[in-house]
Amino acid sequence: MPIKNSAKKALRQTKKRTKANLEVKEAYKKAIKDVINAAKDKKDVSNLMKTAQKKLDKAAKKGIIKKNTASRKLSRLAKKIKSLN
C-alpha cells in the first residue's frame, strides 16, 4: 500500500484509468463479435461494421491500442466477413 499522499493519488488515478480503458477495450471487442455473429447468420453487417470501426478508431485515438493494431483488426474483420458471405 502506498504511504505518501502522492503515491495514494497515483494509485487512485491508475485504478480509474484502468477501469475506463477496460470499458473501451470491452466495447470494441463486443462490436467485433457482433459483426462476426451477424455475418455467420447471413444478416446485414454494414451498420455493425461501421460501429466496430468507430470503436476501434476511438480506442486507437485514446491510446488504448495502437493505430496500426486498430487498422489490422479492422482489415482482418473485413476479410473474415468477405469470406463468410
Please report the pLDDT score of residue 15 as a whole number. Answer: 98
Tally the domains of the chain. Answer: 1
Contact criterion met (CB below 8 Å) for 31 and 55? yes
55-84 confidence digits (pLDDT tens): 999 999 999 999 999 999 999 999 999 998
Angle at 8 between CA 5 and CA 10, to 5 degrees: 110
CATH number, domain with residue 30: 1.20.58.110
Please report the pLDDT score of residue 18 as a whole number. Answer: 97
Question: In which domain, by residue range, is 78 found?
Answer: 5-84
Could you tell me the pTM of the whole model? 0.87
Average pLDDT over residues 16-37: 97
CA dihedral 25, 28, 68, 48 (to 10 degrees): 180
Mean pLDDT score across all residues of the chain: 95
**85 vs 60, which has greater pLDDT?**
60
